[in-house]
Amino acid sequence: MWDYVVERRGLIAFQAFQHVSLVVQCVLLGSLLAVALAVLVYRNPTATSAANGFSAVGLTVPSFALLGILLAPFGFGITPAVIAITFYAALPVLRNAVVGLAGVDRSLVESARGIGMSRVRTLLRVELPLAWPVILAGIRVSTQMVMGIAAIAAYVLGPGLGGFIFSGLSRLGGANALNSTLTGTIAIVLLALVLDLLLVLVGRLTTPRGIRV
Partner 1 sequence: MSETLPSEAQPAPPTAAEPGRDDRNISGVPIRLDGVTKRYPGQDVPAVDDVTLEIAAGETVMFVGPSGCGKTTLLKMINRLIEPTGGRIHLGDEDVTDQDPDRLRRRIGYVIQAGGLFPHMTVATNIGLVPKMLKWDDARVAARVDELLDLVGLDPDQYRDRYPRELSGGQQQRVGVARALAADPPVLLMDEPFGAVDPITRQRLQDELIRIQEELGKTIVFVTHDFDEAVKLGDRIVVFDVGARVVQYDTPERILADPAEEYVADFVGAGATLKQLTLTRVGDVDLLQPTTATVGSDAAAAVAAAQAAGDDYVVVLDRRGRPISWPTLAELTRSPTIPDTVDERLPVVGMRSTLNDALDTMLAASQGGVVVTGRRESLAGVMAVETVMAAIQRTRSGAAG
CA nearest to 126, candidates 148, 142, 105, 141: 105
What distance in Å separates the CA atoms of residue 202 and residue 213, rounded to the nearest whole number? Answer: 15
CA nearest to 153, candidates 54, 58, 21, 40: 21
Please identify, using beta-carbon distances, which residue of 21 and 111 lies nearer to partner 1: 111
- Is residue 111 involved in binding partner 1 (CB under 8 A)? yes
Least CB distance to partner 1 at residue 209 (A) = 6
Q: Which of 34, 94, 112, 199 binds partner 1 (CB under 8 A)?
A: 112
The answer to whether 210 and 162 are in contact (CB under 8 A) is no
Number of residues near partner 1 (by CB under 8 A): 20
The answer to whether 47 and 40 are in contact (CB under 8 A) is yes
Least CB distance to partner 1 at residue 124 (A) = 12
- Is residue 136 involved in binding partner 1 (CB under 8 A)? no
- Is residue 46 involved in binding partner 1 (CB under 8 A)? no
- Is residue 106 involved in binding partner 1 (CB under 8 A)? no
What distance in Å separates the CA atoms of residue 23 and residue 19, rounded to the nearest whole number? Answer: 6
Single out the segment in contact with partner 1 by CB under 8 A; choices: 3-11, 45-53, 147-155, 202-210: 202-210
Please identify, using beta-carbon distances, which residue of 71 and 137 lies nearer to partner 1: 137
Least CB distance to partner 1 at residue 122 (A) = 10
- Is residue 7 involved in binding partner 1 (CB under 8 A)? no
What distance in Å separates the CA atoms of residue 187 and residue 173, rounded to the nearest whole number? Answer: 21
CB hemisphere CA count around 16 (13 angstroms) = 19
What distance in Å separates the CA atoms of residue 131 and residue 93, rounded to the nearest whole number? Answer: 11
Binding site for partner 1 (CB under 8 A): 107-108, 110-118, 121, 125-126, 129-130, 208-211
